[in-house]
C-alpha cells in the first residue's frame, strides 16, 4: 500500500487538491472514501473467513476423527478439551453456532456485499463517492464494533452462543439449558444489533447512490449486472434486517425482562417450572426466517452479479439475456420475501401454510434456473479466457446448479419431512449459498484486485488456489448428500449412539480430511493477496479489456475517482465482440456515433439523441476552460 | 503425534508453494507470457474442466451405486413409500438436469477456449429461448409440487379415529413416552405438575382419563394400524425423528404437535428381511437442544396387532407403580383410582 499511496499522489495531485488533507487516520482508518471502506470490509471479511473456517476445522476433527486425542489444542482451547483429550459437547455446539454466524453475516454479507457494493457502485455508475461518505464510514465501524463484540464472546468462560446460528428460543433464552445462552448469547445479540445497524446504513447508501448518482447516460437499462445485483441486495437487506432486529429485541426482553414472547410451559430440570406462559417459539422462527431466507439471497445475489460481469468479460461475449437476468433478479428479490416458512415445514406450524410455502418456494426455482441457462449460453461460442476470476465464476455456476437442485427436494414439504435438519440440508446450503457466494467473493477479488491495489495477483497461484478449492469443496460437501439421505442429523457431536447412523465413519473421516486440505489451500490465496498488494506485477489500466466505467479511472484513483469530469455513458456494458468493431470490446464511454461500423439498427437511431448529449457536454467543457483561464 | 504431522505437512506445503511460485514467475518473465492475452495455462485449465467432469462424474456414479444399500434407509411406514417415491422421482428429474448442465458447463470451456483466430459470437438475447427455459422448468416444477402437495396433505390430514395414541415428550436429554391406557384417551397434563421422580410428563391425575395412563421404556406399536404420535416438549425445542418411518415433527414447549403414520413391518420382519438380528427402529432428536442433543435415543418396537394387545394388558399405570401420585385426590376420584389400582394388583 505504501507504494500505491505514493503513486496515487503523483498521478492525481494536480486534479485533486483535497487529496493533500489526508493523514494516516483519515485515509486508512476513518476514511470516507468508498474505495478504502470497501477494502476495509474486504480485509475484515478475510479475517473473519479465517476464523470461521478454522472453527469448522475444529468440529470436523471431532466428526471425522472422534477418537483423536485433541490435547494438543489445549493451549488454545483450554478447558474445552477435557482430561481425555476430547472436545466438550457444549463447545462443539458453540463452534457450529459461531461458524454459521460468522460465515453468513460477517463473511458473506459484510465481506462480500460490503466490499463490492462499496467499491464498485460509485466506480461502475460513475459517481465521485457514495451518497453519504460519513454514513458509509459509520457502516464499516458499526460492523467493526459488532465483530469485536463477537470476537470477545469467543473467549468467555461459558463459551459463545451455542444454540445454532438460528438461535431458536427457548434454548437461546435459557441459560440453564445450555451455558452458551448466558453471556455468550447476550454478546451475540448485542453484536448482531450493531451488525444490523451497519447493514442498514450501508444498504440505504447503496440504494440512494444507485438511484441518484448515476453519471450522464447511465440509465438503469445500462447498469452493469453487478450494480443491479448490489442494488437489489440492498433493497432486500433494508426490508428484512429490521425484522431480525425485532426478533432479537423480543428475545432480549424474554431473556432479561421476564416477558413471554417465545416462552411457554417450561420446566427446567433441577429448578422447577418457569412462570412464563402464552409465548410461542414458532413466532421467533417466523420472524427469524423472514430475514433468514432473504439473507440467503443477500449473500447470493452479489455473487451472481459479480459472476455475470466476470463471465461476460472473459467470454468476450455479451451476457446472454441481460433483461432476463434483471427480471430474474427482480423475481428472486420479491419471491425471497414469501418463502421463509419452507424452513419450518415440520416446526409444528399449520400444514396448510406448509402447502402455500411449498408452491411459492418452487416458483423461486424458476428465475434461478433461467440464470443458470443464461450463464451457459453466455459461455456458448465465446472466446474464453480463464483468468482466476473466470475459473471461480464457472465454479460458482457449478455449485449454484448442484446446490440449487437439491433445493427442489427440500422445498417439497413431503420430501422435506425426512431430509429436514439432516446432512442433506447441510450439503444443500453449503453448496448453493456458502460455496457459491464464497466463489463469487473470490472471483470479485481476483477480478478487481488491479483496480483496488494497482497491481495484479499472480494468475498461476490463482489457478492452483481455484482447483484445490473447487475440488476440495466438492469432496467436502458432495459426500454429505449420502450421509443426509441416510438420515444423519445435523449438529450431532457423534453419531454412534444410534444404530441407523452408526456407520460412515470412513466417509466422515474423508470429509474432514478434505476440509482440512481445502482450508489449507486458502493460505495460497492469502499469500497471493498480501504479497501481490506490495510486490505484484503493475497492472495496466484495463487489464481484462473490460467495458465498464471503473476501468476508465486512473490506476490509483484518488478520492473522487476521476480527475476532471466524470465520463458519460453511451451504451450498455456488454458490447463484447460486436460484429464490425475493431476490438473485441467497446467501452461504455465510447459514443455510438464513434462506432458506425458496429452499430445495430436500433442503435443507429440513438446516435441522433446522443449528439445532443455531446453538445451539452462540450458546453460544460468550454465553460470550465474559460473558468480556468 | 498428529500435531507434529500436521505441522510438518503445513511446512512442506508452504515451501512447496513458495518454490512453485518463484519458479513460475521467473519462467513467465522469460517467456514473456504475461504479455499475452491468454497464456498456455488457458489450455491446461480448459482441459482440467473436462478431466474434472469425467473424474468427478465417474466417482459420483461409482459411489452412488456401490453404497446404495448403505445410504438407502429401510422403510417401515405406509406414507414413507409415497415420500420415498417422490424423492426418487425428484432425484431422476434433477439428476438429468444436473448431468446435462454440467456437461455443458465443463465442455464449453474446453470447446470455446481462447483462440486468437476466432471471435466470440455476438449473441445478446433470444426471447424465444428465454421463454422456453422459463416455461419448461415451471411445468416440471409444477408437476413435482403437485405430487408433493398431495402427499403432504394426506400425511398431515387428521389421524383416523381408531389410531393408537402415544404421547412423546422431549426433555433434556431424553424422550418420555406415555400411553393413554385402555380408554385410548390421554389424561390432561400441566407443566407445573412435573415431578422428576414420579411424574416427568406432568400428568394431571385429577383428570380421570389419566388414571390408566402408563409409561414405557420402548415405543411399542402395532403393525398395519394407524398410530398417532402426540408430541410435546417441556423445556426447549426438540424434534421427533424416526428415520425408518420417514417421520419428523418438532416438539415445542407450549404448543402440542402431532404426526400419524402406519407401520408396515414389524421389527422381527425387518430383521429377517435385512438379515440383521440387531436391527431396531429408532427415534432421534433433530432440533438442537443442548449438550446431549446427539444422545436422545428411543427404540420403537413394531409388533403384530395381537401381540400389541397382549402387551397393552401387561402394562401397569403410573398410579399402580406409584400410589403416592393419587394420595391427595378428592374423595370420589381417589375411590376410582383405588379401584383402578385394585384391578391391576
Reported ipTM: the value is 0.92
Confidence band, pLDDT 50/70/90 cuts, at residue A6:
very low
Confidence band, pLDDT 50/70/90 cuts, at residue A21:
low
Q: Supply A314's cell numbers.
A: 472473459
Of the candidates B63, B192, B246, which has its C-beta nearest A418's C-beta? Answer: B246
Coil/strand/helix, residue A540? coil
Of the candidates A316, A318, A417, which has its C-beta nearest B248's C-beta? Answer: A417
Residues of B in contact with A498 (CB under 8 A): 282, 284, 297
Question: Measured between CA atoms, how close is B343 to chain A, in angstroms?
Answer: 33
- Quick one: pLDDT at residue B35? 65
Distance CA A212, CA A214 (A): 6
Nearest CA in chain B to A394: B105
Average pLDDT over residues A614-627: 77
Nearest CA in chain A to B231: A348
Which residues of chain B fall below pLDDT 50? none
Of the candidates B17, B24, B34, which has its C-beta nearest A537's C-beta? Answer: B34
Residues of B in contact with A385 (CB under 8 A): 37-38, 42, 114
Nearest CA in chain A to B127: A321
Residues of A in contact with B69 (CB under 8 A): none
Mutate to test the interface with B, among A267, A450, A468 (most CBs of B within 10 A): A267
pLDDT digits (tens, 9 = 90+) for A287-296: 999 999 999 9
User: Could B71 and A366 be called an inter-chain contact, meaning their C-beta atoms sit closer than 8 Å?
Assistant: no
Listed in sequence order, the DSSP H helices in A213-280 are 225-256
The full length of chain B comes to 345
- Quick one: pLDDT at residue A621? 76
Is the pTM higher than 0.95? The answer reads no
- Quick one: pLDDT at residue B57? 96
Average pLDDT over residues A271-300: 94
Q: Which residue has cell 412462570?
A: A275
Instruction: Please list, in sequence order, all residues whose beta carbon lies within 8 angstroms of the beta carbon of residue A589, skipping any fewer than 6 positions away.
Output: A549, A552, A567, A568, A569, A570
Mutate to test the interface with A, among B41, B101, B171 (most CBs of A within 10 A): B101
Domain A2-11+31-535 indexed as CATH 1.20.210.10 = yes
- Quick one: pLDDT at residue A2? 38
pLDDT digits (tens, 9 = 90+) for A158-190: 999 999 999 999 999 999 999 999 999 999 999
Distance CA A338, CA A59 (A): 34
Q: Is the pLDDT of residue A16 over 70?
A: no
Contact A130, A460 (CB under 8 A): no
| Residue ranges covered by each domain of chain B | 164-344
Confidence band, pLDDT 50/70/90 cuts, at residue A623:
confident
Residues of A in contact with B291 (CB under 8 A): 89-90, 93, 178
Of the candidates B71, B192, B290, which has its C-beta nearest A177's C-beta? Answer: B290
- Quick one: pLDDT at residue B4? 85
Q: Is A372 left (phi over 0), alpha (psi -120 to 50) or beta?
A: alpha
Question: Measured between CA atoms, how close is B309 to chain A, in angstroms?
Answer: 27
Of the candidates B28, B86, B124, which has its C-beta nearest A322's C-beta? Answer: B124
User: Could B122 and A499 be called an inter-chain contact, meaning their C-beta atoms sit closer than 8 Å?
Assistant: no
Question: Measured between CA atoms, how close is B80 to chain A, in angstroms?
Answer: 9
- Quick one: pLDDT at residue B31? 73
User: What would the 3-class secondary structure string for A338-396 be?
Assistant: CCHHHHCCCCCCCHHHHHHHHHHHHHHHHHHHHHHHHHHHHHCCCCECCCHHHHHHHHH
- Quick one: pLDDT at residue B85? 96
pLDDT digits (tens, 9 = 90+) for B107-137: 999 999 999 888 999 999 999 999 999 999 9
Question: Measured between CA atoms, how close is A128 to chain B, in angstroms?
Answer: 31
Confidence band, pLDDT 50/70/90 cuts, at residue A608:
confident
Instruction: Please list, in sequence order, all residues whose beta carbon lies within 8 angstroms of the beta carbon of residue A313, skipping any fewer than 6 positions away.
Output: A447, A544, A545, A546, A547, A576
Confidence band, pLDDT 50/70/90 cuts, at residue A15:
very low
Tell me the pLDDT of chain A averaged across its residues. 92
The matching CATH number, chosen from 3.40.630.30, 1.10.10.10, 3.20.20.70, 2.60.40.420, for B164-344 is: 2.60.40.420
pLDDT digits (tens, 9 = 90+) for A188-245: 999 999 999 999 999 999 999 999 999 988 999 999 999 999 999 999 999 999 999 9
Question: Measured between CA atoms, how close is B316 to chain A, in angstroms?
Answer: 26
Of the candidates B102, B172, B191, which has its C-beta nearest A269's C-beta? Answer: B172
Residues of A in contact with B125 (CB under 8 A): 320-324
User: Could A163 and B288 be called an inter-chain contact, meaning their C-beta atoms sit closer than 8 Å?
Assistant: yes
pLDDT digits (tens, 9 = 90+) for A57-100: 999 999 999 999 999 999 999 889 998 899 999 999 999 999 99
- Quick one: pLDDT at residue A187? 96
User: Could A398 and B82 be called an inter-chain contact, meaning their C-beta atoms sit closer than 8 Å?
Assistant: no
User: Could B130 and A347 be called an inter-chain contact, meaning their C-beta atoms sit closer than 8 Å?
Assistant: no
Nearest CA in chain B to A320: B124
Of the candidates B25, B42, B105, which has its C-beta nearest A397's C-beta? Answer: B105
User: Could B94 and A321 be called an inter-chain contact, meaning their C-beta atoms sit closer than 8 Å?
Assistant: no
Distance CA A546, CA A544 (A): 5
- Quick one: pLDDT at residue B192? 93
- Quick one: pLDDT at residue A12? 41
Residues of B in contact with A414 (CB under 8 A): 82-83, 86, 147-149, 151-152, 155
Mutate to test the interface with A, among B57, B148, B153 (most CBs of A within 10 A): B148
Q: Is the pLDDT of residue A583 over 90?
A: no
Contact A216, A617 (CB under 8 A): yes
Confidence band, pLDDT 50/70/90 cuts, at residue A559:
confident
Task: Count Cα atoms within 13 angstroms, Cβ side, for A324.
Answer: 27
Question: Measured between CA atoms, how close is A220 to chain B, in angstroms?
Answer: 17
Amino acid at each position: 500500500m505504501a507504494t500505491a499511496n505514493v503513486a496515487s499522489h503523483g498521478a492525481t495531485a494536480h486534479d485533486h487538491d483535497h487529496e493533500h488533507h489526508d493523514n494516516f487516520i483519515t485515509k486508512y482508518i476513518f476514511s470516507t472514501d468508498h474505495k478504502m471502506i470497501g477494502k476495509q470490509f474486504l480485509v475484515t471479511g478475510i479475517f473473519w473467513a479465517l476464523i470461521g473456517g478454522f472453527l469448522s476445522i475444529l468440529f470436523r476433527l471431532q466428526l471425522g476423527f472422534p477418537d483423536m486425542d485433541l490435547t494438543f489444542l489445549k493451549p488454545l482451547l483450554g478447558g474445552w478439551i477435557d482430561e481425555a483429550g476430547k472436545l466438550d459437547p457444549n463447545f462443539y455446539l458453540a463452534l457450529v453456532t459461531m461458524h454459521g454466524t460468522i460465515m453468513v453475516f460477517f463473511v458473506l454479507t459484510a465481506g462480500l456485499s460490503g466490499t463490492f457494493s462499496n467499491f464498485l457502485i460509485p466506480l461502475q455508475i460513475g459517481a465521485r463517492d457514495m451518497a453519504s461518505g460519513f454514513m458509509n464510514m459509520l457502516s464499516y465501524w458499526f460492523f467493526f464494533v459488532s465483530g469485536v463484540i463477537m470476537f470477545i464472546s469467543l473467549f468467555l468462560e461459558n463459551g459463545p452462543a451455542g444454540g445454532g446460528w438460528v438461535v431458536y428460543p427457548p434454548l437461546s433464552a435459557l441459560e440453564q439449558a445450555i451455558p452458551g445462552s448466558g453471556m455468550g448469547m447476550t454478546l451475540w445479540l448485542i453484536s448482531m444489533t450493531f451488525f444490523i445497524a451497519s447493514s442498514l446504513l450501508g444498504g440505504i447508501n447503496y440504494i440512494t447512490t444507485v438511484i441518484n448518482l448515476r453519471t450522464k447516460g447511465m440509465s438503469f437499462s445500462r447498469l452493469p449486472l453487478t450494480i443491479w445485483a448490489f442494488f437489489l441486495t440492498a433493497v432486500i437487506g433494508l426490508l428484512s434486517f429490521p425484522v431480525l432486529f425485532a426478533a432479537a429485541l423480543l428475545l432480549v426482553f424474554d431473556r432479561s425482562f421476564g416477558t413471554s414472547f417465545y416462552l411457554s410451559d417450561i420446566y427446567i430440570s433441577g429448578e422447577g417450572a418457569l412462570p412464563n406462559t402464552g409465548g410461542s417459539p414458532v413466532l421467533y422462527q417466523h420472524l427469524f426466517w423472514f430475514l433468514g431466507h432473504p439473507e440467503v439471497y443477500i449473500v447470493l445475489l452479489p455473487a451472481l452479479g459479480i459472476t455475470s460481469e466476470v463471465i461476460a468479460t472473459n467470454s468476450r461475449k455479451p451476457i446472454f439475456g441481460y433483461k432476463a437476468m434483471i427480471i430474474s433478479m427482480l423475481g428472486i428479490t420479491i419471491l425471497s420475501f414469501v418463502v421463509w416458512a419452507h424452513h419450518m415445514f415440520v416446526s409444528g406450524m399449520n400444514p396448510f401454510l406448509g402447502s402455500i410455502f411449498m408452491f411459492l418456494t418452487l416458483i423461486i426455482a424458476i428465475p434461478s434456473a433461467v440464470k443458470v441457462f443464461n450463464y451457459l449460453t453466455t459461455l456458448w461460442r465465446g472466446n474464453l479466457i480463464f483468468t482466476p476470476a473466470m475459473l471461480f465464476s464457472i465454479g460458482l455456476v457449478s455449485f449454484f446448479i448442484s446446490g440449487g437442485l437439491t433445493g427442489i427436494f427440500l422445498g417439497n414439504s413431503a420430501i422435506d419431512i425426512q431430509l429436514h435438519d439432516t446432512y442433506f440440508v447441510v450439503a444443500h446450503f453449503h453448496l448453493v449459498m456458502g460455496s457459491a457466494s464464497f466463489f463469487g467473493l473470490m472471483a470479485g477479488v481476483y477480478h478487481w484486485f488491479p483496480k483496488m491495489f494497482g497491481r495484479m495477483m499472480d494468475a498461476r497461484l490463482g489457478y492452483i488456489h481455484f482447483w484445490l478449492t473447487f475440488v476440495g469443496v466438492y469432496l467436502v460437501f458432495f459426500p454429505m448428500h449420502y450421509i443426509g439421505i441416510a438420515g444423519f442429523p445435523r449438529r450431532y457431536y457423534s453419531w454412534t449412539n444410534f444404530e441407523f447412523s452408526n456407520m460412515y465413519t470412513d466417509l466422515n473421516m474423508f470429509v474432514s480430511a478434505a476440509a482440512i486440505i481445502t482450508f489449507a489451500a486458502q493460505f495460497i490465496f492469502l499469500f497471493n493477496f498480501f504479497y501481490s498488494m506490495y510486490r505484484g506485477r503493475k497492472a495496466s489500466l484495463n487489464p481484462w479489456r473490460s467495458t465498464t466505467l471503473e476501468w476508465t479511472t486512473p490506476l490509483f484513483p484518488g478520492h473522487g475517482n476521476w480527475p476532471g469530469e466524470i465520463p458519460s455513458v453511451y451504451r450498455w456494458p456488454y458490447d463484447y465482440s460486436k460484429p464490425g468493431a475493431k476490438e473485441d470490446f467497446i467501452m461504455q464511454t465510447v459514443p455510438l456515433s464513434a462506432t458506425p461500423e458496429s452499430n445495430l439498427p436500433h442503435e443507429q437511431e440513438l446516435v441522433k439523441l446522443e449528439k445532443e448529449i455531446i453538445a451539452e457536454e462540450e458546453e460544460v467543457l468550454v465553460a470550465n476552460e474559460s473558468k480556468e483561464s | 503425534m498428529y500435531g507434529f504431522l500436521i505441522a510438518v505437512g503445513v511446512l512442506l506445503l508452504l515451501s512447496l508453494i513458495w518454490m512453485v511460485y518463484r519458479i513460475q514467475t521467473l519462467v513467465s518473465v522469460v517467456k514473456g507470457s504475461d504479455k499475452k492475452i491468454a497464456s498456455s495455462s488457458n489450455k491446461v485449465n480448459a482441459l482440467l474442466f473436462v478431466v474434472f467432469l469425467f473424474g468427478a462424474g465417474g466417482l459420483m456414479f461409482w459411489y452412488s451405486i456401490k453404497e446404495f444399500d448403505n445410504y438407502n434407509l429401510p422403510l417401515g411406514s405406509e406414507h414413507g413409500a409415497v415420500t420415498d417415491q417422490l424423492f426418487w422421482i425428484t432425484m431422476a428429474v434433477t439428476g438429468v438436469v444436473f448431468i446435462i448442465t454440467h456437461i455443458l458447463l465443463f465442455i464449453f470451456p474446453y470447446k470455446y477456449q481462447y483462440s486468437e483466430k476466432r471471435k466470440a459470437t455476438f449473441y445478446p438475447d433470444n426471447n424465444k429461448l428465454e421463454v422456453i427455459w422459463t416455461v419448461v422448468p415451471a411445468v416440471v416444477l409444477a408437476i413435482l409440487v403437485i405430487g408433493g402437495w398431495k402427499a403432504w396433505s394426506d400425511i398431515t390430514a387428521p389421524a383416523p379415529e381408531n389410531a393408537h395414541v402415544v404421547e412423546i415428550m422431549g426433555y433434556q436429554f431424553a424422550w418420555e413416552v406415555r400411553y393413554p391406557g385402555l380408554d385410548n384417551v390421554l389424561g390432561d397434563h400441566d407443566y407445573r405438575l412435573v415431578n422428576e421422580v414420579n411424574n416427568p410428563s406432568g400428568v394431571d391425575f385429577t383428570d380421570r382419563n389419566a388414571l390408566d395412563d402408563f409409561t414405557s421404556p420402548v415405543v411399542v406399536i402395532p403393525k398395519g394400524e394407524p398410530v398417532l404420535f402426540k408430541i410435546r416438549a417441556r423445556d426447549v425445542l426438540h424434534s421427533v425423528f424416526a428415520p425408518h418411518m420417514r417421520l419428523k415433527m418438532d416438539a415445542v414447549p407450549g404448543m402440542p404437535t402431532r404426526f400419524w403414520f402406519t407401520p408396515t413391518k414389524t421389527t422381527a420382519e425387518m430383521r429377517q428381511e435385512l438379515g440383521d438380528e440387531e436391527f431396531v427402529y429408532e427415534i432421534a432428536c433433530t432440533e438442537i437442544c443442548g449438550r446431549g442433543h446427539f444422545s436422545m435415543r428411543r427404540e420403537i418396537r413394531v409388533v403384530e396387532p395381537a401381540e400389541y394387545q397382549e402387551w397393552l394388558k401387561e402394562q401397569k399405570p403410573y398410579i399402580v407403580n406409584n400410589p403416592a401420585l393419587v394420595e391427595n385426590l378428592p374423595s370420589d376420584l381417589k375411590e376410582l383410582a383405588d379401584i383402578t389400582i385394585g384391578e391391576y394388583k
